[in-house]
Structure 1
Amino acid sequence: MKKQMPFIIAFVVLVALMASGCTRSASTSPTALATPTSEELPFPVDVAQRMTEVAQQTQMAMPTPAEPLATPVGVETPTPEPTSTPVIIPTPTRPATYTLQSGEWPLCIARRYNLDINAFFEANGLTMNSRPAAGTVLKIPQGGAWSAGERALKPHPTQYTVKAGDTVYSIACEFGDVFPESIIAANNLQSPYTLTPGQVLQIP
């Protein structure tokens, strides 16, 4: 028994050492989880900065407006036609007097202003054969009407090609009931209304 005593003591010491090692390892606290630093924490959040980020993300997510389609090469873009201003044709009334112009004669004036021939000639001391010169001032009766057939000598509206010696006044006389002022307005003529042979006029 005395011989076995040292072995028993050694065994007990060994068991005690093993037991203390297990206790320490079991009691040792596990490695602590890494705690994020204050810089890594998501809070507190800068509200203004966050709203700016949201707005930027929203703008990036919005669809880009489509660009207008380019006109294909070789295809011409139609140009809108200019609108024309309608021409206003004046309708002169009977004046109290009228000054004869070059190329006019008394009967022409009677047709133009729808005058009674007899009353017109009598007021001015004229006859059918009278040919007063340009510049003569004629009296225009305010009563009566043309009664010697059709006032119009040629159909109109139409076009007229100017001949040598023509004036707007002589052309008006050729049509009978057309006013020179109407020819001037229809063709946008400017004073002194000089015409060129071959020029085409609109007769209203």
Structure 2
Amino acid sequence: MSNKKRSLLAIFIFLISTLLISACTQSLSEIPVITPTVISTNLFVSPFPSAENPMAQIEEFAKQTAAAQTTIANGGTPATPQPLVTITGTVGTPVPTTVVPATPTNAVAVATTAVVVSGPTNTAIPAGVRPASYTLQDGEFPYCIARRFNVDPDALLSASGLTSPDLYYPGLTLTIPQSGAFPGSRMLSTHPTTYTVASGDQTVYGIACIFGDLDPSAIASANGIAVSAKLTAGQALKIP
């Protein structure tokens, strides 16, 4: 190796050594010192005063907070919270009350009366008495009435404004003449006897006309029935 090359190598080695030594001896930068800040112990005071029952105090605080929020939401000013009032005592047992409806003072008792509607009827007429008028019943006709009351049939028709003995109906009122007599025998069938009802359409009035001079009330009385009783076919009646 030539002297020149040796000189360059020595210089190079010297530079490298210098750099290495400088790196090893370089001092580290100091870490900044942090100074602690002292915090006042007053900041750690509990927001709730000490009490024997801390949960009751927490509940009271929550109620006051809710009341204040409600007042503010309604546009008012929060009121000063009032202390809780504890109510002590014995709760009584409720007594059931029975309500009796009052009876109205103006109540009117209404009695129901059965009303029987029937056609015009005649009051029982004593034998030998002529009424001033007579209303025909079902089964009767003018000549029957003339025999019963012993009056002239023609006089009866004339007094009643009838031109024919065949013009009649139940409910027709006849005017009874107060003079004269029936020409001939007033009895059409012999009696006393027993009569058997032919059909349910027959009436006590009509059966009296079969016998001529007999009054319907006499037949009803002899059989213990009403003069307007409903008859049945085959029923036996006593004819006085």
Cα pair distance change 1:163/1:101, threshold 3 Å: same
- CA deviation after TM superposition for structure 1 residue 114, in Å: 0.5
Q: Does 1:183 align with 2:194?
A: no
Q: Gapped runs of 5+ residues in structure 2?
A: 1-125
Structure 1 residues 203, 119: CA separation in 2 closer, same or farther (over 3 Å shift)?
Answer: same
What amino acid does structure 2 have at the position aligned with 1:184? A
Q: 1:181 to 1:173 in 2, by over 3 A?
A: same
Q: Is the 8 A contact 2:160 2:175 kept in 1?
A: yes
TM-score normalized by structure 1? 0.53
Residues 113-167 of structure 1, C-alpha deviation per residue, up to 9 Å, x if partnerless? 10112211110122444331100111111111111x2111100000000111210
Q: Which runs of 5+ in 1 are unaligned?
A: 1-89
Whether 1:143 aligns to 2:179 is yes
Match of 2:137 among 101, 117, 120: 101
- Per-residue CA deviation, residues 63-105 of structure 1 (Å, 9 max, x unaligned), is xxxxxxxxxxxxxxxxxxxxxxxxxxx6362111100000111
Give distance in 2, aligned partners of 1:195 and 1:157.
20
For residues 130 and 232 of structure 2, the distance between their equivalents in structure 1, rounded to whole angstroms, comes to 30
Structure 1 residues 125 and 143: CA distance shift in structure 2, 3 A: same
1:153 to 178, 185, 188: 188
- In the alignment, does 2:130 pair up with 1:112? no
In the TM superposition, residue 191 of structure 1 has moved relative to its aligned partner by 5.7
1:168 to 193, 204, 212: 204
How far apart, CA to CA, are the structure 1 residues paired with 2:168 and 2:178?
21
Q: How does 1:32-181 map to 2 (within 5 A)?
A: 91=127, 93-147=129-183, 149-164=184-199, 165-181=201-217
Q: Larger relative contact order (C-alpha < 8 A, sep ≥ 6)?
A: 1
Query: What TM-score does the superposition give when structure 2 sets the normalisation length?
Result: 0.45
Q: Could you tell me whether the CA contact under 8 Å between 1:91 and 1:182 is conserved in 2?
A: no
Q: Which one-letter code corresponds to 1:185 in the other structure?
A: S
Q: Cα 1:92–1:201, aligned 2, differ >3 Å: closer, same or farther?
A: farther
RMSD: 1.5
Equivalences, count? 114
Contact 2:148 2:186 in 1 (8 A): yes
Distance 2:176 2:165 in 1: 19
**1:159 match: secondary structure:** strand
Matched-pair contact (CA < 8 Å) for 1:107–1:128: no
SS of structure 2 residue aligned to 1:197: coil
How far the C-alpha of 1:193 sits from its partner, in A, is 1.1
- What one-letter code is carried by the residue in structure 2 that aligns with 1:113? F
Could you report, residue by residue, the CA deviation over 1:48-72 in whole angstroms, capped at 9, with x for unpaired residues? Answer: xxxxxxxxxxxxxxxxxxxxxxxxx
C-alpha separation in 1, matches of 2:213 and 2:226: 22
